[in-house]
Structure 1
Amino acid sequence: MSEKPRTVSGMRPTGPLHLGHYFGVLRNWIDLQEREQAFFFVADWHALTSDYADPSAIRRNIDEMVKDWVAAGLDPEKCVIFRQSDVKEHAELSLLLSMITPVSWLERNPTYKEQQQQISNKDLGNAGFLCYPVLMAADILMYRPHGVPVGEDQLPHMELTREIARRFNYLYGETFPEPQALLTPAAKCPGLDGRKMSKSYGNGISLSEPMASIRDKVRGMFTDKARLRKSDPGDPDICNLFPYHVLLSSPEEQMEIRRGCTSATLGCVDCKKIFLKNLAAFLEPLQERRAKLDDKAVTDILAAGGERARAFAATTMNAVREKMGL
Structure 2
Amino acid sequence: MQPRVLSGIQPSGSQHIGHLVGALDNFTRLQGEGEAFYMIADWHALTSKYEAVEEVWPATLELTATYLAAGLDPQKATIFVQSLVKEHAELHLLLSMITPLSWLERVPTYKEKLQNAVADLGSYGFLGYPLLQTADIIVYKARKVPVGEDQLFHLELAREVVRRFNHLYQREVFPEPEAVLTKTPKVPGLDGRKMSKSYGNCVYLRDTDAAILEKCTRQMASDPARVRKTDPGNPEICPVFEFHKLFSDAATVELVNVECRRAGIGCFDCKKRVAEAVIRRVAPVRERIEDSLSRPADLQAVLKDGSARARAVAVETMEDVRAAMRMPAL
Q: What is the SS of the residue equivalent to 2:6?
A: strand
Structure 1: give runs of 5+ residues left out of the alignment: none
Aligned equivalent of 2:141, options 137, 141, 144: 144
Aligned match of 1:74: 72
**What per-residue deviation string (whole Å, max 9, x for no partner) do you get for residues 7-51 of structure 1?**
000100011011111111100000011121000010000000111
1:54-203 pair list within 5 angstroms? 54-119=52-117, 121-172=118-169, 173-203=171-201
- TM-score if structure 1 supplies the norm length? 0.96
Give the percent of matched residue pairs that are identical in Structure 1 and Structure 2: 50
Q: Is the 8 A contact 1:15 1:199 kept in 2?
A: no
Q: What is the SS of the residue equivalent to 2:206?
A: coil
- State the superposition RMSD in angstroms: 1.2
CA distance in 2, matches of 1:149, 1:199: 21
1:251-290 pair list within 5 angstroms? 251-290=250-289
Report the CA distance between 1:122 and its aligned residue: 1.0
| Equivalent AA in structure 2 for residue 133 of structure 1 | P
CA distance in 2, matches of 1:155, 1:39: 19
Structure 2: give runs of 5+ residues left out of the alignment: none
Q: What is the SS of the residue equivalent to 1:186?
A: coil
Q: Is the 8 A contact 1:188 1:243 kept in 2?
A: no
**What per-residue deviation string (whole Å, max 9, x for no partner) do you get for residues 100-154 of structure 1?**
11111111111112212333x2111111111100000000011111110011111
Q: What is the SS of the residue equivalent to 1:200?
A: helix
Q: What is the SS of the residue equivalent to 1:148?
A: strand
Aligned match of 1:304: 305
CA distance in 2, matches of 1:245, 1:319: 49
CA distance in 1, matches of 2:237, 2:9: 30
Aligned match of 2:237: 238
| Equivalent AA in structure 2 for residue 211 of structure 1 | D
| Equivalent AA in structure 1 for residue 131 of structure 2 | V
Aligned equivalent of 1:13, options 5, 11, 14: 11
Moved over 4 A (4+): none
Moved more, 100-109 or 40-49: 100-109
Q: Is the 8 A contact 1:23 1:187 kept in 2?
A: no
Report the CA distance between 1:304 and its aligned residue: 0.3
1:218-229 pair list within 5 angstroms? 218=216, 219-229=218-228
Q: What is the SS of the residue equivalent to 2:246?
A: helix
Q: What is the SS of the residue equivalent to 2:2?
A: coil
- TM-score if structure 2 supplies the norm length? 0.95
* Equivalent pairs, count: 323
Report the CA distance between 1:225 and its aligned residue: 1.8
